[in-house]
Amino acid sequence: MAGSRTTHPLLRWLALAENTLIAVLLASTALTILAQIFFRYVLAQSLSWSTEIATDLLMYIAFVGFAIGVRDNAHVALHLFESRFGVRTRRVLRIVELLILGGVLGAIGIGGAVHAYEQRDVVSPSGVPLWTVFLALPFGGALSAVHVVVEVVALLRGAEVPGLVMAVPDEPGGESVPAPAITGGGV
């Protein structure tokens, strides 16, 4: 059942789109910074827009990266005491963690959407409409929320809880120990 989170064609497509988008954003940021370096130190002519554009791109990198972190189960979770609980309690704890994360994502997304709407008529000094910059918050929040919902549904359907995979004992007759809590839960 754990593989059900990764086998649906739409989720695989979404993961590919997120990975491609983050790669394009990172490359665009690097090229913007390199262009600024080239213009400033080689041509002795600074670009007026490069710092602002690089910062705007970093906003999208942060929130799309957050969605990828949720997808890959690389977000902050309560793993300190999980090994002391049974499987059912761990599942409930994981669902509660995801619901809290979903609430935070909802607040970020809604707050970002409201702020983007409020900035709809404001343009930055370099000519970028500010609503396009603040759209990163609801966009990243929505992508993250999709992954939270997928994970909660999978857990409710009986999928394996991340971190519950038992490692092979080191010695014959020895006890199994919990594997590391962070697993590749994504695509």
In degrees and rounded to multiples of 5, residue 166 shows phi and psi of -85, 135
**Domain positions in the chain:** 4-156
The confidence band for 6, taking pLDDT boundaries of 50, 70 and 90, is low
The pair of structure tokens assigned to 56 is: 């705007």
- Whole-model pTM? 0.76
> Which residue type, as a one-letter code, is found at position 68?
I
Integer Cα distance of 44 and 62 in angstroms: 31
* Statement: residue 180 has pLDDT above 50: no
Distances (CA, A) of 120 to 59, 131, 134: 17, 5, 10
Supply the DSSP symbol for 128.
-
Residue 142 pLDDT exceeds 70:
yes
Q: State pLDDT tens for residues 33-75.
A: 999 999 999 998 989 899 999 999 999 999 999 899 888 877 6
Kind and range of the H or E run holding 56: helix 50-71
